[in-house]
Every structure is written in structure tokens, then in C-alpha cells.
Amino acid sequence: MAHNQVKAQSFRPSFSGKTIPRPGLFEKLDGAVKRGRQLVCLTAPAGYGKTVLISSWLKTYDGISIWVPCDSLNIDFPRFIFQLVALIQTRLPGFCSEITPLLSNIKPDEFTALQNCFFDCLSSVPEPILFCFDDFHLIEEPEIYRFLVLLVDRLPAVATIILISRTRPPLPTARFRVRCQLLELTAADLRFSSEETKAFIQANHELSLTDDEINTLTEKTEGWAAAIHLAAMVIASGKTGHETDSFIRSISGNQEYITSYLMDEVFSLQEGSVQDFLLKTSVVNRFNIFLGAALSEISAEKADSIMNRLIQNNLFFLPLDSNNQWFRYHHLFSSFLRSRLVLKQSVDVDHLLYIAGVWFQTEGYLEEAVDCALQRERHDQAVEIILENWPRMLHEGNIDLMINWCKRLSSSVFISYPGINIAYAWALMLQGDFSSVPSKLNMFDRATGEKLRLNPDYSRTLEWKQWQIEKMLLTALLEYSRHQSESGLEFANKAKETAHPDFPLLEGNAWIISGHLYKQMGQISESLYAFQTGIPMTWREGNTQALIGAHTALANLLADRGELIKAAQICHDGIRLAAENRMAETPAAAPLYIALAYILIEMNRLDEAEEILNKGLTAGRINHSLLFLFNSVISQIRLLIARGKADEALEVVDGVSHYITPDNNSQVFADLQAIRYLLIFNTRIREVPVELPVSDLSPWLYQFHASHTSILIHIRALAAAGKLSDALNYANQCIPLCQKSDMTGVLIKFLIVRSRIRDAMGDLTGSNEDLLLAHELGDPLKFIRSFMDEPVYRFSVRSLHSSTLLHSGNDMIIPLTSREEEILGLIKQGLSNYEIAARLSISLSTVKKHISSIFRKIGVTSRSQAIVAQLKVKKQEDADI
């Protein structure tokens, strides 16, 4: 394909009104550039001042800025590159002139060469450079998305990309977020505060509003700049028909001035057939050609023609996929159209919703089908759709959607349809809202009682039996959440007996729940047997959700036992199973990725772990389970610590803190506070908190097998706070519990922690014994990070190194130099290569050379092996003495 020369211009847009200072947002943008964030995503609907903000901020930017208007770049990939280079050349004449020959009749398989040429040119730019892609939501070409992902990864250190978009860009933001490459600003960040509303009105309108009026205007408009501007214009015109304060209090989404604007500037300019199409398709949140044709009672060809016209005219009409199959209207425009539709007496809105509901259900779009039924207030139809599909919905991880549906149902259907209570209870259980489940089970009992009153033979039906088994399973899980393991096991066993042989799927679920209960009781062998029995049953019956959960639990159990290789294989089996059932990218599979990532981190396979972790975060982006959130945070923190980025680990903790409160999960909240304490203690980038979140761990010891991760975190925090005796006491109580339950993997972690505590207390012999035992247990099992990471949580560990620890009299062919002995001692203290270089005032490369020499001389390949080799020498010397 040939590309003609174009004359490109790159200018920031100008504005007729006066802008206001936004120092808080400017500070965030400055920080992103200074801290090397390669990507800034600014996403918000129209009218939030995205372009105004960036254009104003760029006036303060010292480097080269390239403003890229995406409305001129929504083209094929080679032309995109060509015009992008042309825009850069307006600021850097001659930039990448060698790319022009590549654009002549280029083929898709040559795109890589085109990209590499551009990247090479960009790497030679010596000064800071910033690319701002305005209206990025207009980009639709998948190859451009792939290019931008590569561009973010290959940007030179002095380069930054800013994306301004009305919709979230289809980029792997979860991966960028974990790598700390991304700053995200949304409508929530852009909303005007009351002070900013006041400044904006004073700068652009001759109005004098009271502080109360300013506050109300900000609240009513939710800080939306465009609505504030329109409201101020109406107030200034004196045409409100009300007192100013009354008018402000009455502001809503269908205000006359907004309606008039859309009517005069958009709707009235369309021909009749287009107006009819706009009105009738506004009853649904999204539609394609065929649904649009059904609603408008026209042919698919006619619908396609109208939709193409809407796209060409940019008529508040937004594509939802890269193939331009599904579309929606801008929310404000949709609200306007629906208000117009209600006023049009010739149109039956209920009939339109009926047509849409039937179409959605026939095509398998359950969410929209249920929504149409609820809008028509046909709650019985909605329940019937839900009951027909709820197992599949939950198996695929659509938990929040199920809960939202149930919240919208009328109370009467929960009596008429007993099963909807069970479906609701399962959704709440899977979300982790255990406290709400009993009320749903009580309502189920009322509903079944009413059914039996009307039909005494109902208790003989398979439906009645199925619901009763489901209730047993839910009750067993409730008892598990309360740590009433024995009682829960009674319900699970009763469910097994009742389910066999009519409901093999429910019997398999009962075995898997038994596995969780046995583990909670510390009966690890019985737990393994239960999981291994239940997994084939659920596999045969197709309950992929339960099967994935069982694989996750079994992998975690094996990891606790120290069998990391087997645990990783179980995770891979589960992921393969999820992929075969098209669930690998659903929230249901997310915990499995997180479990595998944690295992890979422990085995020091960090690159693989990061890739798997990113997949888990992406799959779990709508998973609101607090347990998933906590486990994903733990894996992110371990990975960042392994990468030497403890300060960024602290940012991860801060980022999830507003999701977890003492009210929704007090233990997870306390765990996060303890992790924050440890990270602050070790990075010292903030003032260390005065108080610990938890000091008394005794209640958790009774639930050790379910709480050992939490206990370990808080023991570290106690030690960091200087409460060494308390920390040692709890560690001493936990270690026998690990040994009794054959939890070798957990035992290793407690031994390492106790070693550090004893070290800090001056018990060097005890410390060495713990560390040697941990290494003997952990080395063949591939436990690596536990030895390498623990010093990150160190608490004033005393140096054990001595010039006499290693010498030629011990099995060393070549003795260590004094510098090497010094560095080995610092390794023993847990210092990273960077910290050793800073401590000794030598270069990082010199440190690495010394460490390589140490490893070669004493015959080891890792830091943990070097530490243990040193300890063995010391132990032998003590024995000789």
C-alpha cells in the first residue's frame, strides 16, 4: 500500500474560556514523569475537561511534547506510523526519515520491521519527550493497540505517553499497573471540588453564588465541568424561572437546557427514519445491526446503513468492540432519547422491551434478557431465566451480576420460587458475604413451607431434594466460615449421602467442601483424599467453577505441605481445564493464576510468575471477593520485594486499602495494616506507625490451619516493633502445629522467622539451628524466596560474619579475600546488591563480581546456599571447640 506525503501539524488545542489551576492533578502528572511512569491514562466521559487539563499542564512541561489528535489517525497501521512520524518531525526535523522507504507497499508480515525502525529512532532522542494522544477512544485498529503496548515497554527512560480517552483503552493495564508503569486518572479525579467550581464560575461567568449554592451545584452535577458550565450559563441568563438556589437544587439529568442543546444541535438535524431508529434503539444499553433492525422493524441492510451514518457523523454513537458489531449511545444522549421516547404516544415502550428481551434470550445474552424483563416489571420471567441459568452464571464467575439481579427482584418472587433463594445465597457465599446467607436460607425455608402447604407431594420431587442438598452444602460452608469444622463436616457428609446417586455433581461439591473442612481441622491427609475424590466427580458433571476452586485449594494444600512441584502441576491442570471450557479469562479462574504465581515466586521463577500474576489480575478485574483481593496483593508484594521494589509494594497496599475495612473483614484488614507496618519499617519512606494493628494472636492459634498466613505476618510485625519475646512465644507455639499436620512448606517459613527472631535476641546457636533445619527441609523442595526475602522484613539483625568463619582450613580450595568475607557477611544480614554497594561505596558491577567469586570458591549457586555454607562452617568450628 502506498503512502503519500502529508503535511502534519502538532499543536495543542486552544480554548475560548479561562482555565483554572488544578495543582493536585498537575502534581500527579509531574510525579508520573519524574518517577518514570511510561503511560498516563486519562479516561472520562465528554465534558470532564480532559483535554483542557493536559493542554494546560503541558505549558509547564520542559521537554518536547507531541500532540497527537487521534481523530486524524483512525486509519490503518502503516499510515498511523507515517503520520505519527510526521507529527514528531514538526518538533524534531529529520526524525526517522529512513522509515519512509518501508511504507511503500508494506505487507502485514513486515509490520515488525516498521515498528523496530521507529523504536530505534526513538531511542536516539536525547531529551525528554512526551506523546499525548487526544481522543484515543477513536482508535479502532487492533494493530495500533498492539504497537502501543510494545511502545510502552520499549520507551526510553525519558519518554512518556499520555492517552486521553472517553472509554478505557483496550490495553493490558493490569500488567502496566503491577510493573508501576502506569498512572490512571478517571472522572473521579477530574471532578471539580467546590473550590474549583467556585473558581471556574468566577473566571468564566459574571455570577456571585453563595458557598451553599456552590456546594449544591457541585453535588448535583457531581463535579462534571460541562454541566456546571451549562448551569452557570442558564443562571447568568436569568431564565431559570426560579430563585437561584431552587434552580440549583432541582438540577437533574433531563434538565431543559441539556435537552434543548441535544435537540437543537443533534436530534432535530436528523431525517425521520434516523430519528425513529435512535428513539427505538435507546431502550437497550447496547445493540447490533440485527437487534436494531428488530426494534425498528426494518431490514438488516437498512439498519446497517443508518448505523454507518451515525458512525460517520460521530453522533454520540460509540463502538463497543474492535469489529464494530456492538454499539451504544453516549449516556447523556441515551437519557435524552429515552425521555423523548416516553413522550411519543405512538410507540409502545413495553412492546419494544419485549422484542429486545426475546431477542436477547434467543441469542444467549442473559444479562440483557433479564434486564428487559425487570424493566417491564415481569419479575416472574426474570426469575425463570435466572433459575434456568444460575449454575452456569456462577460457574463462569458472574457473581456480582447474580447479586445485582436478585436485589432488583420483588420480594414476592422469593416466596413463589424457593430456588431463587438458593441461587442468591450461593452468589453471596462466593462473594464472601457470609453474614447475609442465613437470611436467604430462612427465606428458602418459608418458600418451601408455602410450596408444601399448597402441594404436600412437593417433598417427593427431585426439585425439592436438589434444593435441600444445596442448603446442606451452603450450611456446611457457613460453618466453615465460622470455624465450626466438625459441624460443617456433618452437613457435608449428609449432603453426600442424600445426593448419591441422583445428583453426582452435588456429591462432588460435597466432597470438595469436605476437603476445605478437613484442612481447617488440620487433618491434611483426609483433606487430600476429599479433594482427590471430589475433583473427578465435578469434572464428569461439568461444574468448572467448583473444579477450578478445588484445583486452587488442592494446590495451596500441597504448597503448605512443601510439595511445590506437584502444586504447580495442579495449577497448570486447572488452567488447562479452564481454557478448554473457555473460562481461562473469567473471574472464576483468577484465584488459580494467583496461587500459581505465588508458587512460582517461591521457586524464584520471577518472570514466569509475573506473567501468570498479570493474567490473574486481568481475569479477576471484576472479582470482588476480599479473599481474592488479599491473595493477589500478597503475590504482588512478594514479586515486588523479589524485584527489590519494597517502596512500590507499599503503593500496592495503599491502593487496595479503601476496599477492605474492619467492617467487611476485620482479619484481612488487620493483615494489610501489619504488612503496611513492615514495609514502612523497612523502607523508612514514611514515619513508622506507633501502634501495631494486632498484638494478641492467641485467638488465631485455635484456627491455625486457616490462619497461619495471617499469624506469620503478625509475628513479623511484633518482632519489627521490638516485641521479640512475644514474637518468639507465638513462633514456638506454631512450629509444633506445622510439624503435627505435616505442613512442611509452612514450617519452613516459621523456622526462618524464628531464626531471625533468635538472631535479634542474641541466640546465635538457636538461630543457626533453625536456619539449617529450614534449609534442609526447603532446598530439595525448591523453597528459595523464603530464604532470600525474609531479610527484607529484618528487625535489627546482628551481623554474624567474622574473618575466621571461612578460611583455608575448611573444605575450601581457595580462601576468600577480606573484601569477599565482608560482602558475605552483608549477604548474611540480608542486604541487597544495591545496599551492599552503597554500604561499601563500590559500584554495583564490582559487588556482582565479588559475589560471583564467592559462589565459585565455596561451590554454591545462590545466596541462601552461601549463607548455609557459612553457617555449616561456623557450626563445625563450634563442634571442634
Phi, psi of 162 (to 5 degrees): -120, 125
Q: Note whether 226 and 291 are same-domain residues.
A: no
**359 & 397 share domain:** no
- What is the pLDDT at residue 75? 64
Q: What is the DSSP string of 281-346?
A: HTTSS-B-HHHHHHHHTS-HHHHHHHHHHHHHTT-SEEESSTTS--EEE-HHHHHHHHHHHHH-TT
Which of 494 and 787 is assigned the larger pLDDT? 494
3-state secondary structure of 210: coil
Clarify whether residues 168 and 60 are in a common domain.
Answer: yes
* Cell, residue 107: 505487507
Q: State the cell numbers at 278.
A: 435512535
Q: Which residue has the cell 467442601?
A: 513
Overall number of domains in the chain:
6
Distance CA 702, CA 1 (A): 71
Alpha carbons 672 and 594: distance in angstroms, whole number: 17
572, part of any domain: no
What's the CA gap between 16 and 540, in Å, rounded? 67
Instruction: Please name the residues in contact with 45: beta carbons below 8 A apart, sequence gap of 6 or more.
Output: 166, 187, 330, 331, 332
* Same domain membership, residue 136 and residue 284: no
The answer on 387 and 359 residing in a single domain is no
Does residue 551 sit within a domain? no
Contact 336, 259 (CB under 8 A): yes
Backbone dihedral region for residue 96 (phi beyond 0: left; psi -120 to 50: alpha; all else: beta): left
- Which grid cell sits at 75? 486509519
Burial code (b: 16+ CB inside 10 Å, e: under 16) for 199-218 equals bbbeebbeeebeeebbbbbb
Does 688 map to a domain? Answer: no
Residue 687 C-alpha cell reads as 514515619
Are residue 318 and residue 418 in the same domain, yes or no? Answer: no
- 807-824 pLDDT, tens digit per residue, is 333 343 356 777 888 888
DSSP codes, 583-635 = -TTSGGGHHHHHHHHHHHHHTT-HHHHHHHHHHHHHHTTT---HHHHHHHHHH
Q: Is residue 526 part of a domain?
A: yes
Could you read off the pLDDT of 265-287 as tens digits, one per residue? 557 778 889 999 999 999 998 99
Amino acid at residue number 823: I
> How many other C-beta atoms are found inside a 10 Å radius of the C-beta of residue 133?
23
Q: Residue 183: is its pLDDT beyond 60?
A: yes
pLDDT confidence band for 154 (50 / 70 / 90): confident
Under a CB-based contact definition with an 8 Å cutoff, are residues 192 and 164 in contact?
Answer: no
Greater confidence, 653 or 314? 653
**By residue range, what is the domain housing residue 345?**
262-376
Q: Which residues contact 673 (CB under 8 A, 6 or more apart)?
A: 693
CATH number of 292's domain: 1.10.10.10
* Residue of 745, 739, 697 lying closest to 717 (CA atoms): 697
Query: What is the Cβ-side half-sphere exposure of residue 175, based on CA atoms within 13 angstroms?
Result: 15
Tell whether 176 is covered by a domain. Answer: yes
Higher pLDDT, 172 or 486: 486
Same domain as 148, residue 63: yes
Q: How much is the CA Rg of the chain, to the nearest whole Å?
A: 32
Contact 785, 638 (CB under 8 A): yes
First to last CA, the chain: 83
* pLDDT on residue 803: 29
DSSP 234-265: HHHHT-SSS-HHHHHHT--TT-HHHHHHHHHH
Judge contact between 724 and 760, C-beta under 8 A. Answer: yes
Residues 6+ apart with CB under 8 A from 726: 695, 718
User: For the segment 66-82, what is each residue's pLDDT rounded down to a tens digit?
Assistant: 888 886 555 677 778 88
CATH code for the domain of 140: 3.40.50.300
The pTM is what?
0.55
Average pLDDT, the chain: 81
In a domain, 683, yes or no: no
At 524, which CATH number? 1.25.40.10
What's the mean pLDDT in 386-406? Answer: 84
Residue 225 CA from chain centroid, whole number: 29
Q: What is the 3-state secondary structure (H, E, C) of 505-534?
A: HHHHHHHHHHHHHHHHHCCHHHHHHHHHHH
Task: Using the 3D structure, point to which of 376, 402, 421 is the last residue of a domain.
Answer: 376
Residue 548 has pLDDT above 60, yes or no: yes
For 243, half-sphere exposure in the C-beta direction (CA atoms, 13 angstrom radius) is 5
Q: Which three cell numbers stand for residue 92?
A: 524534531
Mean pLDDT along residues 176-204: 85
ω into 501 cis (within 30 of 0): yes
Residue at grid coordinates 470455624: 483
Strands 317-319 and 327-329, sheet pairing: antiparallel
My answer on whether 61 and 146 are in the same domain is yes
865 three-class SS: helix
Q: Report pLDDT digits (tens) over 331-368.
A: 667 778 888 888 887 788 999 999 999 999 999 898 89
Task: Looking at 522-588, list the stretches that DSSP marks H as alpha helix, in order from N- to C-terminal side.
Answer: 524-541, 544-561, 564-580
Query: What pLDDT shows up at residue 741?
Result: 83
User: How far is residue 822's CA from residue 787's CA, in Å, rounded to a whole number?
Assistant: 20
**Residues 323 and 368 reside in one and the same domain:** yes
**Which has the closest alpha carbon to 637: 662, 609, 658?**
609
Say yes or no: 34 and 156 in one domain: yes
Give bridge partners of residue 317 from the DSSP assignment.
329
Of 172, 190, 208, the residue at which a domain comes to its end is 190
Flag the least confident range among 13-17, 644-648, 824-828: 13-17
Q: How many CB atoms lie within 10 A of CB 392?
A: 14
On the CB side of 126, CA atoms within 13 Å amount to: 0
Q: What SS3 state is found at 798?
A: coil
* 334: its cell numbers: 441515551
Angle at 250 between CA 247 and CA 256, to 5 degrees: 80
* Position 611 pLDDT exceeds 90: yes
Q: How many CA atoms lie within 13 A of 458 on its CB side?
A: 15
Instruction: Tell me which amino acid residue 549 is.
Output: G
CA distances from 164 to 12, 46, 52, 204, 732 (A): 13, 11, 11, 24, 56
Q: Are residues 185 and 201 in the same domain?
A: no
Indicate if the pLDDT at residue 826 is higher than 60.
yes
3-state secondary structure of 702: coil
In a domain, 277, yes or no: yes
Of the two residues 324 and 313, the one the predictor is more confident about is 324
Which sign, positive or negative, has the C-alpha torsion 624, 627, 632, 634?
Answer: positive
- Domain C-terminal end among 190, 206, 236: 190
pLDDT at 681: 80
Does residue 708 sit within a domain? no
Q: Are residues 37 and 161 in the same domain?
A: yes
Q: Residue 449's domain is classified under what CATH number?
A: 1.25.40
Q: Are 163 and 40 in contact (CB under 8 A)?
A: yes
C-alpha span between 702 and 488 (Å, rounded): 17
Query: What's the rounded Cα separation, in Å, for the pair 399 and 390?
Result: 10
